[in-house]
């Protein structure tokens, strides 16, 4: 019996009747359509009627056995998820900070553009384009790095392929949404630059 569901079964298995080779301990597996918890007392009583000195211990449902098998992987996965969430927040703060600083430095430029006839929509589009282009470059580099690191994390993956396109696409969409939200406030601030004030300060 494989005790770790995350590891493939690479060895042959031979099943013998218990009467031919009595083991030191045995496992009883029961399949039922009822609530498994309601059958524990009946199973204990049945085993006791066969052998009163035979203890019945470590009674678990199949879901509990699966969960127990994956305990060693669940904690690292939770930590990776936590670190990933922190990295996502930090990346959003970083994108916002860089764009906010860029908008503050380019106040005169935005004022001149508006004085020459540029509307707020074009200014908003300009700042968004700059922010999303920067985020896109980082996203491409991150996906390349993730594809390389996934090979080393293969032993921690369960139910997910090494290069699952759904996962990669989902992460890409989430990061693009976060980048767009981080770009919104600096872009909105750029559209509020007063051309007269910007040119006077210059």
**The pLDDT of residue 26:** 74
Domain that holds residue 9: 1-69
- Considering the domain architecture, whether residues 61 and 76 belong to the same structural domain is answered as no
End-to-end CA distance of the chain: 77
- Considering the domain architecture, whether residues 142 and 48 belong to the same structural domain is answered as no
**The pLDDT of residue 57:** 79
- Considering the domain architecture, whether residues 94 and 181 belong to the same structural domain is answered as yes
Choose between 7 and 44: higher pLDDT.
44
Weakest-pLDDT range from 44-48, 64-68, 119-123, 134-138? 64-68
**The pLDDT of residue 19:** 75
- Residue 201 pLDDT grade (very low, low, confident, very high; cuts 50, 70, 90): low
| The domain boundary residue, chosen from 43, 69, 95 | 69
Count of alpha carbons within 13 Å of 122, Cβ hemisphere only? 9
In the numeric block, which tokens belong to residue 56? 């019945």
- Considering the domain architecture, whether residues 9 and 92 belong to the same structural domain is answered as no
Choose between 13 and 199: higher pLDDT.
13
Q: Which of 164, 147, 157 is nearest to 8 (CA)?
A: 157
Q: Which of 128, 123, 116 is nearest to 199 (CA)?
A: 116
Number of domains in the chain: 2
**pTM exceeding the 0.85 threshold for the entire prediction:** no
User: pLDDT tens-digit profile of 148-200?
Assistant: 877 776 666 656 666 778 878 888 888 888 888 887 888 787 777 777 766 66
- Residue 1 pLDDT grade (very low, low, confident, very high; cuts 50, 70, 90): very low
Measured on CA atoms in the order 83, 89, 94, 97, is the torsion positive or negative? negative
- Considering the domain architecture, whether residues 78 and 116 belong to the same structural domain is answered as yes
- Considering the domain architecture, whether residues 45 and 5 belong to the same structural domain is answered as yes
User: pLDDT tens-digit profile of 93-146?
Assistant: 887 888 778 777 777 787 788 778 888 888 888 888 888 888 888 888 888 888
In the numeric block, which tokens belong to residue 14? 């031979």
| The domain boundary residue, chosen from 38, 69, 100 | 69
């Amino acid at each position: 019996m494989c005790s770790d569901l995350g590891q493939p079964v690479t060895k042959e298995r031979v099943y013998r009747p218990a009467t031919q080779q009595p083991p030191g301990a045995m496992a009883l597996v029961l399949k039922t359509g009822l609530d498994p918890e309601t059958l524990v007392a009946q199973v204990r009583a049945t085993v006791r009627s066969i052998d009163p000195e035979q203890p019945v211990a470590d009674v678990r449902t199949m879901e509990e056995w699966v969960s127990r098998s994956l305990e060693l992987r669940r904690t690292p996965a939770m930590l990776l998820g936590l670190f990933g969430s922190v990295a996502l927040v930090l990346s959003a703060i970083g994108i916002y900070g860089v764009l906010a600083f860029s908008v503050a430095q380019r106040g005169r430029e935005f004022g001149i553009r508006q004085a020459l006839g540029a509307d707020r929509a074009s200014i908003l589009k300009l700042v968004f384009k700059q922010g999303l282009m920067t985020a896109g470059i980082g996203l491409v580099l991150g996906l390349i790095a993730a594809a390389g690191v996934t090979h080393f994390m293969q032993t921690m993956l369960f139910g997910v392929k090494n290069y699952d396109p759904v996962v990669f696409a989902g992460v890409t969409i989430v990061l693009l949404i976060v980048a767009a939200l981080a770009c919104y406030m600096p872009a909105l601030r750029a559209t509020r630059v007063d051309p007269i004030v910007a040119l006077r300060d210059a």
